[in-house]
């Protein structure tokens, strides 16, 4: 078995469980599916595998899962998280037929945390820090919304604040220049596993290519190691994937979100 296969097996066994949704308000089960409800009217569908189901069964699960969320008027959006290495006949067509739209495919990256802990020269005037105050969190969330091309949402910030209130180990890190947040990301140590996740990495376009995201990643990797986590995982865009590959993380599979809105 190759290293990439070993890491993918660890991902499937350790992360595609309750560990994947630490901030869930509620979780229901439909066959192998986990129908997760988050704060701010958000649903999320995931699973460890699809139990070898055929296309007909998968199509039925998609329809039933959407009916579950439709029955709750508080749910305004649902994400179905697919993985490229899953055996899932007919899933793409079933999702489209039920009104889901595919998002950008990202790379599932995994590797040793200590490979990321390099020293990076930051641009003049840029500094890194961990944040926990509501004002900082709302500013960070607004910047991420802008970078990801979505409407700035109090709901997104509220969801992050809810997570912080749970005190489940999540850490928020930002890079600043003259009081303006120019890059941000979070670290999520996964209880009872070897993993910590690095998520939400976003850098303002005018600040890219200057090592800021790299430095923010290194800071989060060091924090992970202090918590006893030896592996880092991330779903990476094409902006961040090459950076993580250069420092030893491997692309073990892909993930594509399919989104439905009421």
In the structure, what pLDDT confidence band is assigned to residue 135 with cuts at 50, 70 and 90? very high
Dist. CA 27–CA 35, nearest whole Å: 6
pLDDT, residue 201, reads 87
pLDDT, residue 103, reads 96
pLDDT, residue 156, reads 86
Domain stop point among 88, 109, 130: 109
Domain extent at residue 93: 3-109
Dist. CA 96–CA 115, nearest whole Å: 39
What integer is the mean pLDDT of 83-100?
Answer: 98
DSSP 12-66: HHHHSSGGG-TT-SEEEEETTEEEEEETTTEEEEE-S--TT--HHHHHHHHHHHH
DSSP 67-98: HHHHT-TT--EEEEEEETTS--TTHHHHHHHT
158 shares its domain with 235: yes
In the structure, what pLDDT confidence band is assigned to residue 39 with cuts at 50, 70 and 90? confident
Dist. CA 165–CA 94, nearest whole Å: 37
Ranges 126-130, 146-150, 216-220, 225-229: which has the least confidence: 146-150
pLDDT, residue 215, reads 95
232 shares its domain with 120: yes
Tell whether the model's pLDDT for residue 149 goes beyond 90: no
What would the pLDDT profile of 162-174 be if each residue is shown by its tens digit? 889 989 899 999 9
What would the pLDDT profile of 226-253 be if each residue is shown by its tens digit? 999 999 999 998 888 988 898 889 999 9
CATH number for position 40: 3.40.630
pLDDT, residue 204, reads 96
The token pair that represents 1 in the structure block: 């078995």
Dist. CA 101–CA 162, nearest whole Å: 28
CATH number for position 235: 3.40.630.30
**105 vs 56, 70, 193, 256, CA distance in Å?**
25, 26, 26, 4
Helix axes 134-147, 154-166, angle to 10 degrees: 130
pLDDT, residue 109, reads 97
């Amino acid at each position: 078995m190759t290293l990439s296969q070993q890491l993918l097996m660890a991902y499937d066994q350790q992360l595609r469980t309750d560990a994947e949704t630490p901030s869930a308000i509620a979780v229901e089960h439909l066959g192998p599916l986990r129908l997760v409800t988050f704060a701010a009217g958000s649903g999320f569908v995931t699973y460890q595998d699809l139990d070898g189901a055929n296309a007909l069964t998968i199509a039925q699960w998609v329809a039933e899962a959407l009916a579950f969320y439709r029955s709750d008027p508080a749910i305004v959006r649902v994400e179905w998280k697919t993985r490229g290495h899953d055996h899932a006949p007919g899933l793409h067509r079933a999702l489209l037929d039920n009104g889901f739209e595919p998002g950008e495919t990202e790379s599932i990256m995994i590797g040793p945390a200590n490979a990321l802990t390099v020293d990076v020269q930051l641009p003049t005037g840029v500094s890194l820090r961990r944040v926990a105050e509501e004002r900082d969190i709302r500013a960070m969330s607004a910047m991420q919304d802008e970078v990801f091309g979505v409407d700035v949402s109090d709901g997104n910030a509220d969801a992050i604040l809810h997570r912080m209130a749970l005190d489940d180990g999540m850490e928020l890190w930002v890079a600043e220049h003259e009081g303006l947040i120019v890059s941000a990301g979070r670290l999520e140590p996964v209880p009872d596993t070897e993993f910590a996740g690095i998520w939400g990495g976003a850098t303002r376009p005018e600040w890219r290519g200057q090592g800021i995201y790299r430095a923010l990643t290194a800071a989060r990797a060091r924090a992970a190691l202090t918590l006893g986590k030896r592996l880092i995982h991330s779903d990476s865009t094409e902006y961040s994937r090459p950076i993580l590959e250069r420092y030893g993380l491997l692309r073990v599979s892909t993930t594509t979100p399919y989104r439905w809105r009421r």
